[in-house]
Structure 1
């Protein structure tokens, strides 16, 4: 399958491409990014030496593709807050460009990387097929813009039922290439382990479902192999989620994390106590996750810490 990967230097995209190449994929990749020169470093960091060429983002429309996968966006919560309403424009621009391409290439599949944030304030409980998106329309905070951008894109896609378009809602993803400067709880915890300092957390518990690269690649490939004409959203999920307390205790027992209940972190898209999905529509496409959140947290933490400090300094018990 000839795949155009938009936003190829993003963490998710680079992980998917590198994992696929390492596994001997049959996909033929064409990579596109706003800063194409960054792809070489991204691939070398992932131990891929035969780096596919990367082209300017807008040039994707010049080719002929079996599928387009749109990773264009922002993955850092602090960056999402800084961008504010501009995330609406960026998401709309590149989604519109792909939709215009589909008008002249109707057999091309389109995979759009959406987010659980598309539900906005509708995720106080785990989402399922009946969950509704809820936005405070009369007083929109800046933290709502990211979710609105994804929600609107999904609505536009459903308005084109004749096109093969799948929106993959990623709730939580954890990578060995994660930028530890990004302010997620799990990356802050790994940084605290690396630095040998105490992590201060608030008393608010929460549940997260962390997907690793193998399960993400399996989900994306299942969507790429979906029946022609399939148009709909697909929620990402692992074998099981993990609570904040469980994660902190795992990192304490496995790697020596020290933590205490004190302050809070950053809620870039609003506080979500149960940010994961029970919607298993992906099963109908053949997706079967292989890992649970605890195993992904353990494995990725070990991979990151093995690069960050001497191996004999890692307290790994499993």
Structure 2
């Protein structure tokens, strides 16, 4: 199977490439705005020469793909904040590249990395299969740009029912390879542990569902093996976890020191989301069955991080 990966500098894309390399013989073609960075990363990962790397301008030039995986976009709170309103153009431009290919190669499948933010909801409760997307149309704010861009892409995809497109909504993802300066609860925890400093965190109660790289691979693999479809699925682990349990586990297992108070917390460019996860199990219809709970996944990745010499060890 020939798989085109758009946005190969994305960390979640890199993790998936590592999983493909270890568990499949698929032929991957990695496209990026910075192909040299991808080539360097492949060398560091002992995958030099394993996969072809190219700039986006070379996409589709006489190539045949069975699958297109689109990871282009912002992958963490800091990147979302930095992109601002340009997320609309970035999302649309690279989505069009894939859709133009599908229009002349209708047997090709397209997997688009969406986000739980597409629901646009306040997440006072977790999303489920009946949750409606909410857009404050008369009072749009910068924190809405990312959600609306993803929702717009999903609407465009559903309008093309004759094409094989699956949108994968990622809510929370944690890997030891992530950029630990990205400004999320878990990256703040990592930095506090590594620097042996006190984590100052807000008293806000939140629940998250962290998908482990191995389960994300299982989800993508299940989607590729299932009959063609045009739909969206939500990412989920075996069990979500709330903030008190995260803090307690990180304290017990990795020596985290923390204080809870009236702190504003890190960047929150898509708004406050107390229960940012989903109970929508549509992915199970494709054969997806997660193997790890959020706590198990976090613990595994933190154990790998604890062996790294520096916070930046996983970046490229």
Shorter-chain TM-score range? over 0.9
Q: Is the 8 A contact 2:74 2:83 kept in 1?
A: no
Task: Please name the residue that 1:250 is paired with.
Answer: 249
Measured after TM superposition, the shift of residue 122 of structure 1 is 4.5
Measured after TM superposition, the shift of residue 49 of structure 1 is 4.5
Task: Please name the residue that 2:313 is paired with.
Answer: none
Task: Please name the residue that 1:313 is paired with.
Answer: none
Distance 2:76 2:302 in 1: 18
Task: Please name the residue that 2:14 is paired with.
Answer: 14
Task: Please name the residue that 2:195 is paired with.
Answer: 195
Q: Is the 8 A contact 1:218 1:287 kept in 2?
A: yes
**1:250-300, CA deviations, whole angstroms, 9 ceiling, x for partnerless residues?**
000000000001312221211100011111111110111110000111111
Task: Please name the residue that 1:77 is paired with.
Answer: 77
Between 152-161 and 72-81, report the one with greater CA deviation.
Answer: 72-81
Q: Is the 8 A contact 1:70 1:112 kept in 2?
A: yes
Task: Please name the residue that 2:314 is paired with.
Answer: none
Q: Secondary structure at the match of 1:307?
A: coil
Task: Please name the residue that 1:315 is paired with.
Answer: none
Task: Please name the residue that 1:267 is paired with.
Answer: 268
Any stretches of 5+ residues in structure 1 without a counterpart? 310-318
Distance 1:38 1:61 in 2: 21
Measured after TM superposition, the shift of residue 110 of structure 1 is 0.4
1:293-312 equivalence runs, <5 A = 293-308=294-309
Measured after TM superposition, the shift of residue 84 of structure 1 is 1.0
Measured after TM superposition, the shift of residue 120 of structure 1 is 1.4
Distance 1:11 1:185 in 2: 18
Is residue 59 from structure 1 mapped to residue 58 from structure 2 by the alignment?
yes
Distance 1:138 1:79 in 2: 26
**1:76-105, CA deviations, whole angstroms, 9 ceiling, x for partnerless residues?**
212211211100000001111211111110
Measured after TM superposition, the shift of residue 50 of structure 1 is 4.5
1:113-128 equivalence runs, <5 A = 113-128=113-128
Task: Please name the residue that 1:143 is paired with.
Answer: 143
Task: Please name the residue that 1:240 is paired with.
Answer: 239
**Equivalent residue pairs, number:** 307
Distance 1:238 1:44 in 2: 31
Distance 1:190 1:74 in 2: 21
Task: Please name the residue that 1:174 is paired with.
Answer: 174
Q: 1:198 to 1:49 in 2, by over 3 A?
A: same
Distance 1:178 1:41 in 2: 17
Q: Is the 8 A contact 1:22 1:48 kept in 2?
A: no
Task: Please name the residue that 1:289 is paired with.
Answer: 290
Q: Secondary structure at the match of 2:231?
A: strand
Measured after TM superposition, the shift of residue 181 of structure 1 is 0.7
Measured after TM superposition, the shift of residue 152 of structure 1 is 0.4
Q: 1:37 to 1:3 in 2, by over 3 A?
A: same
Task: Please name the residue that 1:133 is paired with.
Answer: 133
Task: Please name the residue that 1:276 is paired with.
Answer: 277
Q: Is the 8 A contact 2:110 2:164 kept in 1?
A: yes
Distance 1:281 1:108 in 2: 22
Distance 2:13 2:122 in 1: 27
Measured after TM superposition, the shift of residue 35 of structure 1 is 0.3
Between 150-159 and 51-60, report the one with greater CA deviation.
Answer: 51-60
Q: Is the 8 A contact 1:237 1:277 kept in 2?
A: yes
